[in-house]
Structure 1
Amino acid sequence: MSANGGPPADPSVLAGLLAILLAAAVALLAAGYGRGVHELWARRGAGGVLPGWRVGAFAGGLVIALAAQNGPAAGFVERSFTGHMTQHMVLMLVAGPLLATGGAGLPLTLACPAPLRRRLARLRTSPPARWLRRPSTTALAAGGGQTLVLWFWHLPGPYLAALEQPALHALEHACFLGAAWLIWAPVLGVARHRLPTPAAMLLLVGTMLPASALGAVLTFAPQPVYPLRVLGPDPLADQQLAGLLMWAPMDVAVLVATLAVFLRWLLMLQGRRPDQVTSPEPGGVVPVARTEGVG
């Protein structure tokens, strides 16, 4: 019996209600983004300011986030720690980067009513907001936020609480998605909001190391860290596989992104100071490229 004398709350009913609320939140976010993109393209032409591929990335991020939470693989997710870790990595390494690529700041601002839009503009120019938008502050906040979220929700206590309470489970996933969105936005977002390349590389590598450490702890632990009831049929193997799923994909994704950011930086520098490359002379000698200020 519940506290008010009625029948006890059915967890499946609560989970269903949370699924409906999640779908409504995703629909509202998609509608706001779509309205902002429509207004932006009506002013600047289709693809202006925000290319279509960024819009597609944002839509894909929303679909993947919704599928990770309530998709067809939900049964597998509930049966093992490995399943939950797969869900977490999909949110952090697929959905989060796609949402960050969408450059949602401007479209969502344009979708707001005019009074709210003016308040947001004043907030952006305030001293605290300017301080938060500094590259060093952004990097520290994003990296620290993801590290805190990742370690906190994988501690045995919070992890078990999230499994037992659907509301906390939804909050856990919202934290993973929000932290990933925040950390990838200054790397994959529109050019005017990106971090300088050295800061972006430090941000990516600096956040990879704590995640790798947590993955290593789970992989090399001599015995299960979590209660056996939340692990698979082979508890230690389930925990070790989950640790590897956190460790390997996170490292690969971050290293690939860091390399891509570095190559993009080199191409940008080359575009600013192009080498004078000519075709081979009849004698077969290729002239040495000259740089500005030399010779």
Structure 2
Amino acid sequence: MNLLYWLDPWEFSPTVVIALLVPAILFVRGAHKAKVSIRRRISFWFGLVALYVALHTRLDYFFEHEFFMHRAQHLVLHHLGPFFIALSYPGAALRAGIPFTWRQRFVRPALETAVVRKLLDVVMHPVVAVTLFVGLIYFWLMSPIHFMAMLDWRLYRVMNWSMVIDGLLFWWLVLDPHPAPPARLSPGKRVLVVIAAIPPQIMLGAFIFFTPRELYPIYSICGRAFTWLSPMRDQQIGGLLLWIPGSMMSVIGALLALRHWMRLSSRGRLRGERRVQATPGLTQPASVPASGQR
């Protein structure tokens, strides 16, 4: 078996191919126009390839037949892949990759509709963003829900794509390097948002790790890929993947958001600092008359 064998999809999905091929083409077309750096290009391609590997390779068999492999898959779909894509700040390149006439006739009118703007305002609200980011992990790991998702291929794909889309929205919001506006959240709020997502992940991972009973018997019913690994050991490794790497990704995200905050502050690009700088009377002390003068 060689690398091509593992890259061959376990179940071919045209949806995955199209969904990943379109942004790849747009990025190739627009990266030169938007003057994207080599570091950002590497980050984008790493994230996109990671999503492809987690969605459309032979590894999908193992994702469906071992709990810890399933958690590794969602670690990539919800954290690693979207994180590196958002870290590359690809918005300008993706826009530049769309033909100008298409942007004027289709993309801009669609984004300016009331429905789309309201939807983005809701999902990008800090409380909603944290709730969705953590809530989806909890929801899909509820034993009855997880049992059905692993049996029904349609629900299985909804589960995976919900993690990808939510991961992209969350990390795009958190890792935005711009001040607010044009960013939706101020740098300080971006730090708080990602920090708020850490404790629930730790608690759920620890609960799965320390639970003395099998929470996800679906893997034993359908047959395990690794027969030498006991169900409880498999569950413990899965809990650790959520507990430690998942939480560490959020810590790294918080540090990067803090770095953006400090960078913007040092350059005087925060909204409050811009207002002070724009008003000279607030930054210069009032003149004091010399002694003896009236």
- Pairing partner for 1:229 from 210, 221, 227: 221
- Number of equivalent positions: 255
- Pairing partner for 1:220 from 210, 223, 243: 210
SS of corresponding position for 1:201? helix
- Pairing partner for 2:29 from 11, 29, 35: 35
Query: Is 1:206 the counterpart of 2:196 in the alignment?
Result: yes
Counterpart for residue 19 of structure 2: 25
* CA distance 1:140–1:123, shift in 2 (3 Å): farther
Q: Is the CA contact (8 Å cut-off) linking 1:100 and 1:188 kept in structure 2?
A: yes
Shift of 1:223: 0.7
Shift of 1:64: 0.8
The one-character-per-residue Cα deviations of 1:143-165 (angstroms, maximum 9, x if unpaired) are 22222321221122332223223
Shift of 1:75: 4.6
Shift of 1:184: 0.4
Q: Is the CA contact (8 Å cut-off) linking 1:136 and 1:199 kept in structure 2?
A: no
Q: Is the CA contact (8 Å cut-off) linking 2:175 and 2:256 kept in structure 1?
A: no
Counterpart for residue 89 of structure 1: 75
SS of corresponding position for 2:125? helix
Q: Is the CA contact (8 Å cut-off) linking 2:208 and 2:236 kept in structure 1?
A: yes
* CA distance 1:135–1:26, shift in 2 (3 Å): closer
Counterpart for residue 164 of structure 1: 151
Return the alpha-carbon distance in structure 1 between the equivalents of residues 123 and 11 of structure 2. 42
- Pairing partner for 2:173 from 168, 183, 186: 186
* CA distance 1:130–1:173, shift in 2 (3 Å): closer
Q: Is the CA contact (8 Å cut-off) linking 1:185 and 1:194 kept in structure 2?
A: no
Shift of 1:179: 1.0
Counterpart for residue 289 of structure 1: none
The one-character-per-residue Cα deviations of 1:100-123 (angstroms, maximum 9, x if unpaired) are 224344444451673664454345
Counterpart for residue 265 of structure 1: 261
Shift of 1:240: 1.7
Aligned pairs for 1:117-128 within 5 A = 117-122=104-109, 124-125=111-112
Return the alpha-carbon distance in structure 2 between the equivalents of residues 185 and 255 of structure 1. 16
Taking structure 2 as the reference length, what is the TM-score of the superposition? 0.72
* CA distance 1:200–1:79, shift in 2 (3 Å): same
The one-character-per-residue Cα deviations of 1:182-233 (angstroms, maximum 9, x if unpaired) are 1000222452436312211121022223222221221121211121436664
Return the alpha-carbon distance in structure 2 between the equivalents of residues 29 and 202 of structure 1. 30
SS of corresponding position for 1:17? coil
Q: Is the CA contact (8 Å cut-off) linking 1:211 and 1:246 kept in structure 2?
A: yes
Amino acid at match of 1:16: E
Q: Is the CA contact (8 Å cut-off) linking 2:175 and 2:257 kept in structure 1?
A: no
Taking structure 1 as the reference length, what is the TM-score of the superposition? 0.72
Amino acid at match of 2:242: M
Shift of 1:132: 5.8
Unaligned runs of 5+ in 2: 1-8, 270-282, 286-294
* CA distance 1:147–1:153, shift in 2 (3 Å): same
Q: Is the CA contact (8 Å cut-off) linking 1:81 and 1:238 kept in structure 2?
A: yes
Amino acid at match of 2:138: W
Q: Is the CA contact (8 Å cut-off) linking 1:102 and 1:189 kept in structure 2?
A: no
Return the alpha-carbon distance in structure 1 between the equivalents of residues 131 and 53 of structure 2. 27
Return the alpha-carbon distance in structure 1 between the equivalents of residues 64 and 12 of structure 2. 18
Amino acid at match of 1:90: V
SS of corresponding position for 1:195? coil
- Pairing partner for 1:100 from 61, 86, 92: 86
Return the alpha-carbon distance in structure 2 between the equivalents of residues 241 and 104 of structure 1. 34
SS of corresponding position for 2:11? helix
Return the alpha-carbon distance in structure 2 between the equivalents of residues 74 and 133 of structure 1. 31
- Pairing partner for 1:138 from 97, 109, 125: 125
Return the alpha-carbon distance in structure 1 between the equivalents of residues 124 and 73 of structure 2. 29
Return the alpha-carbon distance in structure 1 between the equivalents of residues 90 and 260 of structure 2. 22
* CA distance 1:22–1:127, shift in 2 (3 Å): closer
